[in-house]
């Protein structure tokens, strides 16, 4: 089969790839120089939409509406944009072998691709209960969500069942967002997770208490402190029951699992420096995966290979340590940084080191929160966190070594979100936890 050669190749066609493509064009990439190779069937899109507006019963988001870069208020890159710019967008093409020594990639169909510079943007894949040998986990109507094909399967089952009981396994982002959207679709929703409260990696007990009460008020039944250990199915192989470790058995018409993700790095195993990352999530408590180690320009241990988005660890300048960030804002910014660094190095120039302020967000029901910085040290809660309020607005600060290092806000206006971002960036001194709790947003507005 014919071999194709490109100056630059991106493996993966997700969020990072889309933002990288836009930056390549800004930097003056020439027609024919860049290829994006993606196993998905569609051009890069804003993945967070899949667990939110994509599943709405009315007014659902659909492509081409949420192609990158609309999620950050930028231009929407339609499939024809890539053609106009002379970028080869090779869809439905899975790379199954990457030989970084000979700079050759091989697809499942046997095509080979050569490159001068490679950007690895393969993202993550979901952890499946079948991977952990959970009995009956291969029954029909047990769903996961990562790519648009998965979201389409969910849309289909929601339409087919119309109503019924949905069991959501996992109490992280995906579990919370999917529970909300299934409830909006008229399902009777039960969430199951082993931790004492939802989103334990970010939320304090106080923050979680608000969301759990709000969800309960909306009719979502939360079952904490236990895990799904097995599933039974009917004669057609469709899931009917979820067996919990504490002995309870829940009826189910559909099951949606959100128990974490694993970065897709196996293609590169042993070829670049790697780091071990632990899996800490709601259903599976331990395990290890490999991450690709990069510098502040997202360059790996090989000079012509970069890694961005979910697969990379990088120096977090603000905190003086090495981190991985599995969120959309970083996938966009790391991609842009890598492309800028590639062009700078070709011109014998240097650019500023990546100086990232962690930023995560989520939306469900009428709620919307943002978080900036680091959730370490002591936390205080402020504002109206009564789930029965007509418009709850509250937040949290995290204080370490006398400085405010992290800030969370539910229901904030854009300028208020900007104010808490500034707090997390500048890390102002905090006189006392009590004062911070009392001042709340006023503290941020003075910074
Ligand atoms: C449903 C959902 C909702 C989310 N919501 C939020 C949110 O609200 N806020 C937030 O901050 N973050 C959210 N995230 C996380 C965010 O979307 C990811 O961190 C981000 O997409 C990572 O970008 P990436 O480019 O590294 O990987 P991805 O966007 O996952 O892209 C990876 C691409 O590589 C392709 N690929 C993988 N292997 C190969 C191969 N061998 N050959 C060819 N192609 C390959 C994949 O098919 C995919 O197209 C959400 C994630 C999901 C799944």
Any ligand 1 atom below 6 A from CB of 325: no
Comparing CA positions, the residue from 316, 261, 331 lying closest to residue 289 is 261
Least confident of 42-46, 248-252, 282-286, 311-315: 282-286
Q: Is there an atom of ligand 1 within 6 Å of 50 CB?
A: yes
Q: What is the pLDDT of residue 330?
A: 98
CA distance 43 to 13: 7
Q: How confident is the model at residue 189 (pLDDT cuts 50, 70, 90)?
A: very high
Q: Report helix angle 173-184 to 205-217, nearest 10.
A: 20
- In this structure, the residue with its CA closest to atom 31 of ligand 1 is 14
Q: Is the pLDDT of residue 280 over 80?
A: no
What are the pLDDT digits (tens) for 120-136? 999 999 999 999 899 99
pLDDT value of residue 1:
65
Q: Is the pLDDT confidence value at 287 over 70?
A: no
Residues 210-234 as b/e (b if ≥16 CB within 10 A, e otherwise) read: bbbebbeebebebbbeebbbbbebe
Ligand 1 midpoint to CA 111 (Å): 24
Residue 418 to residue 426: CA distance in whole angstroms? 12
Please state the rounded mean pLDDT for residues 212-235: 97
Which residue's alpha carbon is nearest to atom 35 within ligand 1? 12
Q: Give residue 276's pLDDT band: very low, low, confident or very high (50, 70, 90).
A: confident
pLDDT, one tens digit per residue, over 140-163 is 999 999 999 999 999 999 999 999
Q: Indicate whether residue 18 lines ligand 1 (CB < 6 A).
A: no
10 Å CB burial of residue 118 (0-12, 13-18, 19+) is buried
pLDDT one-digit tens code per residue, 70-91:
999 999 999 999 999 999 999 9
Mean pLDDT of 263-275: 94
Closest residue by CA, ligand 1 atom 4: 48
Q: Is the pLDDT of residue 278 over 80?
A: no
User: Is there a cis peptide before residue 64, judged by omega within 30 degrees of 0?
Assistant: yes
Task: Please name the residue whose Cα sits nearest to atom 38 of ligand 1.
Answer: 122
CB-ligand 1 contact for 122 (6 Å cutoff): yes
Note the Cα 326 to chain centre separation in Å.
5
Phi-psi sector, 324: left (phi>0), alpha (psi -120 to 50), beta: beta
Percent of the chain with pLDDT over 70: 97
Please answer whether residues 190 and 179 qualify as being in contact, where contact means their C-beta atoms are separated by less than 8 angstroms: no
| H-helix segments, 173-285 | 173-184, 205-217
Question: What is the pLDDT at residue 286?
Answer: 45
- CA 125–ligand 1 middle distance (angstroms): 8
Candidates 23, 105, 122: which one to mutate for ligand 1, based on the most atoms within 8 Å of Cβ? 122
Check whether 285 has a pLDDT greater than 90.
Answer: no
- Residue 360 Cα: closest atom of ligand 1: 11
pTM, whole model, 2 decimals? 0.97
Using CB atoms within 10 Å of the CB of residue 145, give its burial: 0 to 12 exposed, 13 to 18 middle, 19+ buried. Answer: buried
295/315 Cα distance (integer angstroms): 6
Long-range contacts of 126-133 (CB under 8 A, 24+ apart): 126/257, 126/258, 126/259, 126/260, 126/261, 126/262, 127/259, 127/260, 127/261, 127/262, 127/279, 127/281, 127/283, 127/284, 128/257, 129/169, 129/228, 129/257, 129/259, 129/283, 132/284
Query: Per this entry, what is the length of the chain?
Result: 447
The residue whose CA is least distant from atom 48 of ligand 1 is 14
Q: How far is the CA of 262 from the centre of ligand 1 (A)?
A: 11
Query: Is the C-beta atom of 312 inside 6 A of ligand 1?
Result: no
Tell me if 48 CB under 6 Å of ligand 1: yes
Task: Report the nearest atom of ligand 1 relative to the CA of 335.
Answer: 25
- Which DSSP string corresponds to 110-129? S-EEEEEEEEE---EEE--G
Q: Is 55 in the pocket of ligand 1 (CB under 6 A)?
A: no
For residue 180 and ligand 1, the question of a CB distance below 6 A is answered with: no
Confidence check: pLDDT of 341 > 70: yes
Counting atoms of ligand 1 from 1, which one is nearest the CA of 308? Answer: 26
Q: Does residue 431 surpass a pLDDT of 90? A: no
Q: What pLDDT, on the 0 to 100 scale, is given for residue 91? A: 98
CA distances from 255 to 50, 91, 150, 267, 312 (A): 17, 30, 13, 31, 31
Question: Which ranges constitute the DSSP H helices of 200-327?
Answer: 205-217
What's the start-to-end Cα distance of the chain, in Å? 61
Closest CA relative to residue 119, chosen from 304, 262, 267, 327: 304
Average pLDDT, the chain: 95
Q: Is 331 in the pocket of ligand 1 (CB under 6 A)?
A: yes
pLDDT the model gives residue 306? 98
Answer yes or no: is pLDDT of 283 > 70.
Answer: no
Q: Is the CB of 95 under 6 A from ligand 1?
A: yes
CB-ligand 1 contact for 14 (6 Å cutoff): yes
Ligand 1 atom 6: residue of nearest CA: 48
**Which residue of 48, 49, 126, 364 sits with most ligand 1 atoms within 8 Å of its CB, as the best mutation to test the pocket?**
48
Checking if the pLDDT of 351 tops 90, the result is: yes
Q: What local confidence, expressed as pLDDT, does residue 289 receive?
A: 83
CA distance 21 to 82: 8
Does any ligand 1 atom lie closer than 6 A to the CB of residue 263?
no
Judging by DSSP bridges, how do beta strands 142-143 and 403-410 pair with one another?
Answer: unpaired
Give tens-digit pLDDT for 9-58: 999 999 999 999 999 999 999 999 999 999 999 999 999 999 999 999 99
Task: Give pLDDT, residue 363.
Answer: 96
Angle at 63 (CA atoms; ends 412, 17), nearest 5 degrees: 80
Q: Largest Cα–Cα distance in the chain?
A: 69
User: 255, 14, 331, 328: which is closest to 147 by C-alpha?
Assistant: 14
Write down the pLDDT at residue 279. 54
Ligand 1 pocket residue status of 3, Cβ below 6 Å: no
Pairing of strands 3-11, 112-120: parallel
Helix runs in 185-276, H state only = 205-217
| Cβ(253) – ligand 1 distance below 6 Å | no
Average pLDDT over residues 196-206: 96
């Amino acid at each position: 089969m014919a071999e194709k050669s490109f100056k630059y190749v991106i493996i993966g066609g997700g969020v990072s790839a889309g933002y990288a493509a836009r930056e390549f064009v800004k930097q003056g990439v020439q027609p024919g120089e860049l290829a994006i190779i993606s196993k998905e069937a569609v051009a890069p899109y804003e993945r967070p939409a899949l667990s939110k507006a994509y599943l709405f019963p009315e007014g659902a988001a659909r492509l081409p509406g949420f192609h990158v870069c609309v999620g950050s208020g930028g231009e929407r890159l339609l499939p024809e944009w890539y053609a106009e710019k002379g970028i080869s967008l090779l869809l439905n093409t899975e790379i199954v072998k990457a030989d970084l020594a000979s700079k050759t990639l091989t697809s499942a169909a046997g095509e080979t691709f050569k490159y001068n510079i490679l950007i690895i943007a393969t993202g993550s894949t979901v952890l499946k209960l079948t991977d952990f040998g959970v009995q009956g986990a291969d029954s029909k109507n047990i769903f996961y969500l990562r790519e648009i094909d998965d979201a389409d399967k969910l849309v289909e089952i929601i339409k087919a069942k119309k109503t019924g009981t949905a069991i959501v396994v996992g109490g992280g982002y995906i579990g919370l967002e999917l529970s909300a959207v299934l409830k909006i679709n008229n399902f009777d929703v039960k969430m199951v997770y082993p931790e004492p409260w939802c989103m334990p990696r970010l939320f304090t007990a106080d923050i979680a208490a608000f969301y759990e009460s709000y969800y309960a008020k909306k009719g979502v039944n939360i079952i904490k402190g236990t895990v799904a250990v097995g599933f039974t199915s009917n004669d057609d192989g469709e899931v009917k029951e979820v067996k919990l470790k504490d002995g309870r058995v829940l009826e189910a018409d559909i099951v949606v699992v959100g128990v974490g993700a694993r970065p897709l790095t196996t293609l590169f195993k042993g070829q670049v420096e790697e780091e071990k990352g632990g899996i800490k999530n709601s259903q599976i408590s331990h395990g290890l995966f490999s991450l690709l180690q990069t510098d502040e320009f997202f360059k790996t241990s090989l000079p012509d290979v970069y890694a961005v988005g979910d697969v990379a660890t990088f120096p977090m300048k603000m905190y003086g340590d090495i981190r991985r960030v599995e969120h959309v804002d970083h996938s966009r910014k790391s991609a842009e940084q890598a492309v800028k660094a590639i062009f700078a190095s070709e011109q014998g120039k240097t650019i500023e080191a990546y100086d990232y302020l962690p930023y995560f967000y989520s939306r469900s029901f009428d709620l919307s929160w943002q978080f900036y910085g680091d959730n370490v040290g002591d936390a205080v809660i402020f504002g109206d966190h009564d789930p029965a309020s007509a418009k709850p607005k509250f937040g949290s600060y995290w204080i370490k070594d006398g400085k405010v290092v992290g800030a969370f806000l539910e229901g904030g206006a854009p300028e208020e979100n900007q104010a808490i971002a500034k707090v997390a960036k500048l890390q102002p001194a905090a006189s006392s936890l009590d004062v911070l709790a009392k001042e709340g947003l006023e503290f941020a507005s003075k910074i």
